[in-house]
Amino acid sequence: MTTDLTTERPADRYPSRTSTEPAIVARHDPVVRGHAEQGPLSQDQLDQFDNDGFVLLDGALAPDEVELLLDELHRLGGQPELRDDDRTILEPGDDVVRSIFEVHRISDVVARLAADRRLAGAARQVLGSDVYIHQSRINYKPGFRGKEFYWHSDFETWHVEDGMPAMRALSASISLTDNDEQNGPLLIIPGSHRSYVTCVGETPEGHYKSSLRRQEYGVPDDASLAELVEEGGIASMVGGAGSIVLFDANCMHGSNGNITPHPRSNVFLVYNSVENQLVEPFGAPQPRPTFIASRDFTPVPPL
Amino acid sequence: MTTDLTTERPADRYPSRTSTEPAIVARHDPVVRGHAEQGPLSQDQLDQFDNDGFVLLDGALAPDEVELLLDELHRLGGQPELRDDDRTILEPGDDVVRSIFEVHRISDVVARLAADRRLAGAARQVLGSDVYIHQSRINYKPGFRGKEFYWHSDFETWHVEDGMPAMRALSASISLTDNDEQNGPLLIIPGSHRSYVTCVGETPEGHYKSSLRRQEYGVPDDASLAELVEEGGIASMVGGAGSIVLFDANCMHGSNGNITPHPRSNVFLVYNSVENQLVEPFGAPQPRPTFIASRDFTPVPPL
């Protein structure tokens, strides 16, 4: 079911990078479409996702599951042929592996994780349809010199650069190491998923190559960020190894750097509704490579 | 009582940057020399300083005192003539003010703060003698793009580059804004003041200019840091505006960056014992400028 770029493009309901002035506009799409009885998320968890834009499931994976994934992470990080692969991103100014993309196609262990009901089932429940993997990656986030990820809405990029029409996708961050307040945990602005912060500046060609190391376009402005934080505060996704954060595609999120010796490694999986398949980019000359934004819309099979 | 460089130099009891292998060696100097009855620190506080290398005094300054200092900070940051002053350090790759040095000579408000018994009195008590200001600065640490300060022992630099003979100095960080876990608080490794981590690499001439923006020499190695953290953990100096952290010159400390909108501004004062006056640098071709390492050993007068 791999498809070419759709030639008909729906109207752009989320324009960004088209103006010289940033703005905060309201979200047009529902956040939660499913119900508690479908599982695995409870009504409380669905309500929290609806209100805050995320839910933190501490201890979701058992220690032996975490162990298996950590072994896989180290195995992949040590493969010389992957180091030269386009899908492998190095830390800025360093040759330490930062991330490996499309890892669910590289690793059976990650593929099985991606199909797990705790993740894919929750995604189907929230998004109200079958889902496919829009993006997957492992992030090494080593200690000592872990760089920050500046604030951003993933959806802004996925819409502008990848052609994702609606806010009907969610991300799962699966921690393979303990996250405390000091080692650069994921920071989310609660409630920010209900606001769309349009960014300024047009997207140059080939932008993705540098943006995976350091974002220059699709960066929200200070005033909008301050407004969102004023309203919702900042929640730190703190939990043990094996905790899962599910968060809406439009959540404003980021993380500080990490000078502690403690790494913050995770697996990152993005589920998109099969009813929200990519079209041509809404604001970029060319779509990004499919290892970053898949155009294989095959549903994740229910396990 | 301004003096020239002392020509006789005591033996170097803390060599660093002289070997290609880092090492952790024991401290030769006592940590606390005074007693509770001298005040202002209690016996518990002195014991904590002795054990951990720091003491956090939450709410030490009243709100109106913080207000006065914040006004002064903004006034100084807005002075165009100070922007071109050598004593003013800008953020890397940016023209935002990061720090202003020797600020107790620039500002009467800061000079009065530096002489306050809660600070100078505590320094006399811990160090067991009269004290003088070795260094003073205000740090703006703005929100959004606040950069990290990597782990370091101030003493290592003060010894090697400035010629401070012994570990008989302490720093006071006075918070002018709230410090929470998210906006890059000062991180200290408890107990690290009892170990001296020698660093590798010789100090090049004029190193201070770049080191105030980004440290390249006097940087502890990963293995030593991991060992210190394994033993002592990492303490976050979290507290409201007006809190004071007093910490030993040899504490291993640093801070993560700060992507939150919340600044983390502070006044930073270093008190050195008058019995520990600077001599020629122990490991640098030339001493750093006096606005970074004062050679005016006039005691702070008791208030």
Instruction: Tell me, yes or no, if B216 comes closer than 8 A to chain A by beta carbon.
Output: no
Window from A50-59, A120-129, B3-12, B182-191 with minimum mean pLDDT = B3-12
Residue B98's pLDDT is 85
More confident residue, B165 or A78: B165
Confidence of residue B34 (pLDDT cuts 50, 70, 90): very high
Distance from the A111 Cα atom to the nearest Cα atom in chain B, whole angstroms: 33
Residue A4's pLDDT is 52
Query: At B194, which CATH number?
Result: 2.60.120.620
Q: Is residue A72 part of a domain?
A: yes
Q: Does B5 have pLDDT greater than 80?
A: no
Residue A94's pLDDT is 67
pLDDT, tens only, A252-292: 999 999 999 999 999 999 999 999 999 999 999 999 999 99
Confidence of residue A295 (pLDDT cuts 50, 70, 90): very high
Residue A253's pLDDT is 98
Window from A19-23, A152-156, B130-134, B237-241 with minimum mean pLDDT = A19-23
Confidence of residue A98 (pLDDT cuts 50, 70, 90): confident
Contact A147, A92 (CB under 8 A): yes
User: What CA–CA distance (Å, rounded) separates B100 from B139?
Assistant: 7
How much is the average pLDDT of B126-137? 98
Contact B107, B101 (CB under 8 A): no
Q: Mean pLDDT of all residues in chain A?
A: 92
Query: CA dist B35 to A206, B53, B129, B209, Å?
Result: 65, 16, 12, 39
For B256, the closest of A229, A257, A261 (CB atoms) is A257
Q: Does A41 have pLDDT greater than 70?
A: yes
User: What CA–CA distance (Å, rounded) separates A97 from A89?
Assistant: 6
Q: Is residue A18 part of a domain?
A: no
Distance from the A77 Cα atom to the nearest Cα atom in chain B, whole angstroms: 20
Extended beta strands in chain A, E state = 23-26, 54-57, 88-90, 97-101, 131-139, 149-153, 169-175, 187-188, 195-198, 235-236, 244-248, 252-255, 266-273
Query: CA dist B254 to A196, A258, B152, B160, Å?
Result: 35, 11, 6, 19
Confidence of residue A1 (pLDDT cuts 50, 70, 90): very low
Confidence of residue A214 (pLDDT cuts 50, 70, 90): low
Window from A77-86, A119-128, A233-242, B120-129 with minimum mean pLDDT = A77-86
Contact A287, A280 (CB under 8 A): yes
Name the β-bridge partners of B248. B170
| Phi/psi at B96 (5° precision) | -85, 135
Window from A51-60, A167-176, A193-202, B266-275 with minimum mean pLDDT = A193-202
Distance from the B247 Cα atom to the nearest Cα atom in chain A, whole angstroms: 19
Amino acid at B209: K
- For chain B, the domain total comes to 1
Confidence of residue B210 (pLDDT cuts 50, 70, 90): low
- The answer to whether the Cα torsion of B74, B76, B81, B84 is positive or negative is negative
Percent of chain A with pLDDT over 70: 92
Residue B193's pLDDT is 98
| Phi/psi at A213 (5° precision) | -95, -45
Q: Is residue A134 part of a domain?
A: yes
Confidence of residue B134 (pLDDT cuts 50, 70, 90): very high
Extended beta strands in A86-237, E state = 88-90, 97-101, 131-139, 149-153, 169-175, 187-188, 195-198, 235-236
Residue partners of B208: CB distance under 8 A and separation at least 6: B161, B288, B289, B292
Distance from the B147 Cα atom to the nearest Cα atom in chain A, whole angstroms: 9
Residue B216's pLDDT is 64
What's the predicted TM-score (pTM) here? 0.91
How much is the average pLDDT of B165-180? 97
Residue A216's pLDDT is 64
Q: Mean pLDDT of all residues in chain B?
A: 92
> Which chain B residue is nearest to residue A228, measuring alpha carbons?
B261
> Which chain B residue is nearest to residue A181, measuring alpha carbons?
B181
Q: Is residue B51 part of a domain?
A: yes
How much is the average pLDDT of B241-256? 98
How much is the average pLDDT of A127-142? 95
User: What CA–CA distance (Å, rounded) separates B226 from B10?
Assistant: 32
Which of the listed ranges A19-28, A139-148, B20-29, B45-54 does the model predict with the highest average pLDDT?
A: B45-54
Q: Is residue A139 part of a domain?
A: yes
Instruction: Tell me, yes or no, if B200 comes closer than 8 A to chain A by beta carbon.
Output: no
Find which of B234, B236, B253 to mutate to test the A interface (most A CBs within 10 Å of its CB). B234
Find which of B151, B152, B182, B187 to mutate to test the A interface (most A CBs within 10 Å of its CB). B182
For A181, the closest of B229, B236, B257 (CB atoms) is B236
Residue B1's pLDDT is 43
pLDDT, tens only, A238-248: 999 999 999 99
Residue B2's pLDDT is 47
Residue A59's pLDDT is 95
Residue B9's pLDDT is 76
Where in the sequence is the domain holding A32, given as residue range(s)?
A: 23-273
Instruction: Tell me, yes or no, if B106 comes closer than 8 A to chain A by beta carbon.
Output: no
| Phi/psi at A98 (5° precision) | -95, -50
Q: Is residue B18 part of a domain?
A: no
Confidence of residue A302 (pLDDT cuts 50, 70, 90): confident
Q: Does B3 have pLDDT greater than 60?
A: no
Q: Is residue A290 part of a domain?
A: no
Q: Is residue A251 part of a domain?
A: yes
